[in-house]
Amino acid sequence: MAKGTPNDEYAHASENIRHYQTTRFSLLTVFIAVSAGLLTVLSATSNSPSGYLSLTLKVAGLATTLLFWILQERTMAYWYHFVLRAAELERSLGYQLYSVRPEAGVLTSNNALRLFFLIIALFWVATMIWAP
């Protein structure tokens, strides 16, 4: 099997970075659509005498939030992996696309999404407690 060059690996790492960034926002779009669907069904059944259906929908909302949160975290782990690998390769290639990117500090998109998912999870828990 032929051995690849650092330039080839860098190109693949860049492709993977783009892939995981696109996946990340695709997951967010699907999550919002699923959550909106659950909220729509929940509001339509709010006058229903059966509390079990309402509770089931709220638990489904919380479970959906937690599952998509996990998917986001894993997607970001892969994204970070490929960014770090691309930055490593840049030293031998003389590039500076990933190795000199600005420091984000606390205000990262990953932290913003963590806060978003935390708020949504707390919303579902609150609906279980205060609106049985």
Whole-angstrom Cα distance, residue 64 to residue 59? 8
Give 49's pLDDT tier (boundaries 50, 70, 90): low
- So what's the pLDDT on residue 1? 42
Q: Where are the domains of the chain?
A: 6-130
At 101-127, the pLDDT tens digits run 888 888 899 999 999 999 999 999 999
Instruction: Calculate mean pLDDT across residues 89-109.
Output: 90
Give 52's pLDDT tier (boundaries 50, 70, 90): confident
Whole-angstrom Cα distance, residue 57 to residue 46? 11
Query: Would you give the distance in Å from CA 30 to the centre of its chain?
Result: 10
Tokens 């080839």 found at? 8
pTM flag (> 0.75):
yes
Instruction: Calculate mean pLDDT across residues 64-91.
Output: 96
Residue 59 is inside which H or E element, if any? helix 51-93
